Structure 1
Amino acid sequence: MHRRLVFEEPVSRAAVWSRRLAWFAFAVLLLSLLLVRLREPSIEGLAPVAGAYVLVLAALGLAILAFIRIWHSGHRGAGMAAGALLLSLLLLAPAGFIVLRLVTRPALADVSTDIDDPPAFSRSQAALTARSGRVPPDVPALQRRLQRQAYPKAVPILLELPAEAAFDLARRAALGLGWQVLETARPGGRSGAGRVEAVARGRILHFSEDIAIRIRPRVDGSRIDIRSASRLGSHDLGANAARVAAFTDEIELLMESR
């Protein structure tokens, strides 16, 4: 009885290491995101995330190299290379979304429904403590005009309600969105305006935006203006405009339920 010898092609080392590196990059990325959430948010604190994405790109490159070598040499490991390629692309998807936002959104970090007279931020001790002593700076008029072009729906909210009722509505909307309300001031006094000061935090990285809401009486009702400003960087990737839109939608929902 003769035994038939079967010679199998060796497994591509590039495929093996691409899979290992892809899973290692996945673990490093999760750990780095956890560290960012636990620490005080900062641009420097994103360095571990950037390092994790270097590993992701290396895994992607190895997977592509593995496919090339498998094609030329006939080595095994196509499945491993395909898995590494898919995992790398999935990990790169959020980074690709961020790059898309950088390209398609203006470089703004402060959005207001009133570009001529944005709501001012409180300088009380409680507000300054919550903002770590930071007061969002004024935005040049040119940037405010860029905001109007990029986010034409970020406009004042006009209500056929007294300022007192509009104030209660604005406060409920802020709380309903999960924002931390720092302080409030009812309409009245010399200016006649009411105010709600709040802080909103991102769901993933917990980056903070400072919120100032102003309620002014009008002859036929009231006007609500909101301003949302990021604490880090000069580009918010559209986050502040999204918060303004979410606040407007919440006001509309509350009005419908009255």
Structure 2
Amino acid sequence: MRRLILEEPVTRAAVWSRRIGGFALAVTLIGVFLVRQQRVEMTAGLAVFGSGLLLALGAAGLAAIAFAMIWLEGRRGLGRAVQGLVLALAVLAWPGFLAFKAVLLPKLNDVSTDIEEPPAFSRSRAALAARGGHVPVEVAPATRRRQREAYPLVAPLHLDLTPEEAFEAVRKAAQVMGWEIVEAAPPGGRIGLGRLDAVDRSLILRFPDDITVRLRPRVGGTRIDVRSASRYGAHDFGVNAARITDFLEEVSAQAEAR
């Protein structure tokens, strides 16, 4: 006599977790592509990207429900639930990392080596055209002082080079960093200041960030100040401070190589 063996059904939460997780990954990648390639308006591209994140949250939630049902009722579908969770985490890992940094770091989107008298961005026709008419707003000194504890390495660089030599080191460092140099004015004129304005872009979404470098002659050398400002968002997640310190390290390396 045959015995009929009844298997527990596959939990639907596991099935839908995998489906929605895969869809979330596809939507997120499409959103990243649209924003990076500037195929649509920024807000539209970010809306697609945000939709992918919401779908990923839903997939993670369904995976959690599936795990509970598998544990309590002995249902099948563990593999599907794990796959759905992995897909969701693949989408949420980077935003989650940024959220963690947002908790640890001060809410700043404009960082300067000179807090009291930050370098000013060029307002020339060429600079405004390169920035799409955008000029970073001035930040109150009280707001800037928040960066002191969080970014102690963001400080002026003093080189034992003439302003002209320092300017060449700055220009070369900007090229090595892959910045788009918007305008460069060698030291000279009545007060002898030099300046370099540039645009850099974020790694994943290619958001533009604006940078200006000021060179000021000093007795026996040159002082270099840098200001980096995010064009979008109220929190830069430490990107501007990291950019400044990396750039000044590269300037030092270029100066030593002379």
User: TM range, normalised to the smaller chain?
Assistant: over 0.9
1:29 maps to which residue? 28
Residue 146 (structure 2) pairs with residue 165 (structure 1): no
Give the C-alpha shift of residue 257 in structure 1: 2.7
1:8 maps to which residue? 7
Q: Which runs of 4+ in 1 moved over 6 A?
A: none
Judge conservation of contact 1:185–1:194 (CA < 8 Å) in 2: yes
- The amino acid of 1:228's aligned partner reads S
- The amino acid of 1:26's aligned partner reads L
Give the C-alpha shift of residue 91 in structure 1: 2.0
Give the C-alpha shift of residue 72 in structure 1: 2.3
Judge conservation of contact 1:41–1:207 (CA < 8 Å) in 2: no
- Count the aligned residue pairs: 257
Q: Taking every aligned residue pair, what percent have the same amino acid on both sides?
A: 52
1:70 maps to which residue? 70
1:193 maps to which residue? 193
Cα distance change, pair 30–12 in 1 and its aligned pair in 2 (3 A)? same
Secondary structure of residue in 1 paired with 2:99: helix
- The amino acid of 1:54's aligned partner reads L
Aligned mates of 1:61, 1:194 — CA distance in 2: 55
Secondary structure of residue in 1 paired with 2:146: helix
Aligned mates of 2:111, 2:256 — CA distance in 1: 26
Q: TM-score, normalised by structure 1?
A: 0.94
- The amino acid of 1:176's aligned partner reads V
1:38 maps to which residue? 37
2:213 maps to which residue? 213
Give the C-alpha shift of residue 9 in structure 1: 2.1
1:145 maps to which residue? 145
Aligned mates of 2:16, 2:109 — CA distance in 1: 41
2:204 maps to which residue? 204
Give the C-alpha shift of residue 115 in structure 1: 1.1
Aligned mates of 1:98, 1:203 — CA distance in 2: 13
Secondary structure of residue in 2 paired with 1:227: strand
Secondary structure of residue in 2 paired with 1:121: coil
Aligned mates of 2:166, 2:257 — CA distance in 1: 14
Please list the CA deviations of residues 36-58 of structure 1 after superposition, one character each: whole Å capped at 9, or x if unmatched. 11227746642222211111111
Give the C-alpha shift of residue 87 in structure 1: 2.3
Aligned mates of 1:45, 1:27 — CA distance in 2: 14
Aligned mates of 1:9, 1:180 — CA distance in 2: 61
Which piece of structure 1 moves more, 33-42 or 206-215? 33-42
Secondary structure of residue in 2 paired with 1:122: coil
Give the C-alpha shift of residue 15 in structure 1: 1.0
Judge conservation of contact 1:56–1:92 (CA < 8 Å) in 2: yes
Which piece of structure 1 moves more, 225-234 or 33-42? 33-42
Aligned mates of 1:90, 1:196 — CA distance in 2: 39
Which piece of structure 1 moves more, 57-66 or 68-77? 68-77
Secondary structure of residue in 2 paired with 1:188: coil
- The amino acid of 2:34's aligned partner reads L
Cα distance change, pair 44–242 in 1 and its aligned pair in 2 (3 A)? farther
Give the C-alpha shift of residue 3 in structure 1: 4.7
- The amino acid of 1:97's aligned partner reads F
Q: TM-score, normalised by structure 2?
A: 0.94
Gapped runs of 5+ residues in structure 1? Answer: none
Matches within 5 A, 1:237-256: 237-256=237-256
Which piece of structure 1 moves more, 212-221 or 7-16? 7-16
Give the superposed CA RMSD.
1.6
Judge conservation of contact 1:181–1:199 (CA < 8 Å) in 2: yes
Cα distance change, pair 184–41 in 1 and its aligned pair in 2 (3 A)? farther
Aligned mates of 1:42, 1:14 — CA distance in 2: 34
